[in-house]
Amino acid sequence: DTGVSQDPRHKITKRGQNVTFRCDPISEHNRLYWYRQTLGQGPEFLTYFQNEAQLEKSRLLSDRFSAERPKGSFSTLEIQRTEQGDSAMYLCASSLLGVSYEQFFGPGTRLTVL
Amino acid sequence: TQLLEQSPQFLSIQEGENLTVYCNSSSVFSSLQWYRQEPGEGPVLLVTVVTGGEVKKLKRLTFQFGDARKDSSLHITAAQPGDTGLYLCAGGRRSNDYKLSFGAGTTVTVRA
């Protein structure tokens, strides 16, 4: 078990560009969560999946954001037409529903929009 | 607006001293987790408490869940420089499918 992994760890982009992040959860974890963390704040919930089904999207997630988990394993988070306000740490977490509700986090992807 | 309020926001102490971090809410939680986060990294789970009044110990760290399951505290005995980091509390509710609500965190610095 290698834990939750995220790629890339850092991304610098220009305003208006599209970016995509990947999250690989702990194997066999059926729940996958995305959070966003800005400086001086705790993580804020964005969306989550149970297997391949997206169960909820936060109001923080504008139409420019889309997340998928096509085969119930890894997930991608895409941001279209990035804005400077999108600069943040994007965190992924996974859990095994039915066994434990504890969420285990990946190292995050730090996005900087210039 | 954070559902969970943490205090203090910053804490700087000398190695060997004790410290306590508080996490308070007006809401009842089914479970509460404490995480530690280092700069540029994701939060690392330290402990989960689920029963009102529960006390858990992890080496020099003692975690307590309030009787009403609305508040929690983290106490570190004889702090070491390796305890330096951002401590986050996060609450989950069964009615909300255990999605986590985080506090803003307490930045702890332990000076050698």
pLDDT in tens, chain B (112 residues): 568 999 999 999 999 999 999 999 999 999 999 999 999 999 999 999 999 999 999 999 999 999 999 999 999 999 999 999 999 999 998 888 888 999 999 999 999 9
Q: Which residue of B has its CA nearest to A103?
A: B45
More confident residue, B2 or A114: A114
CB B46 within 8 A of CB B32: no
CB B38 within 8 A of CB B95: no
> Judged by CB atoms within 8 Å, which residues 33-72 of B form the interface with A?
33, 35, 40-45, 48
User: DSSP of A10-74, one letter per residue?
Assistant: EEEE-TT--EEEEEE-STT--EEEEEEE-TTS--EEEEEEETTEEEEE-TTS-TTEEEE-TTSS-
Distance from the A98 Cα atom to the nearest Cα atom in chain B, whole angstroms: 12
What's the pLDDT at A86? 97
- Length of chain B in residues, anyone? 112
What's the pLDDT at A1? 56
**pLDDT tens digits, residue range A10-62?**
999 999 999 999 999 999 899 999 999 999 899 999 999 999 999 999 988 89
Distance from the A47 Cα atom to the nearest Cα atom in chain B, whole angstroms: 9
Residues 6+ positions from B49 with CB-CB distance below 8 Å:
B31, B32, B33, B56, B63, B64, B65, B72
Mean of per-residue pLDDT scores for chain A: 94
φ and ψ at residue B95, rounded to 5 degrees: -70, -20
What's the pLDDT at A99? 65
Q: What percent of chain A has pLDDT over 70?
A: 97
B66: left (phi over 0), alpha (psi -120 to 50) or beta: beta
What's the pLDDT at B2? 62
Q: Residue B100 is encoded by which pair of tokens?
A: 């986590």
What's the pLDDT at A9? 98
- Judging contacts by C-beta atoms under 8 Å, the chain A residues touching residue B3 are none
**pLDDT tens digits, residue range B93-108?**
888 888 899 999 999 9
Residue A107 has pLDDT above 70, yes or no: yes
Contact between A45 and B100 using a beta-carbon 8 Å cutoff:
yes
Residue A93 has pLDDT above 70, yes or no: yes
Nearest to A102 by CA among B28, B13, B30: B30
Q: Residue B49 is encoded by which pair of tokens?
A: 């408490």
Q: Are strands B10-14 and B106-111 parallel, antiparallel or unpaired?
A: parallel
CA dist B5 and B36 (Å) reads 16
CA dist A91 and B45 (Å) reads 14
Contact between B42 and A45 using a beta-carbon 8 Å cutoff:
no
Q: Residue B97 is encoded by which pair of tokens?
A: 């499918």
**Interface mutation target, options A34, A100, A101, chain B, most CBs of B under 10 Å:** A101
Give the pLDDT mean for A79-100.
92
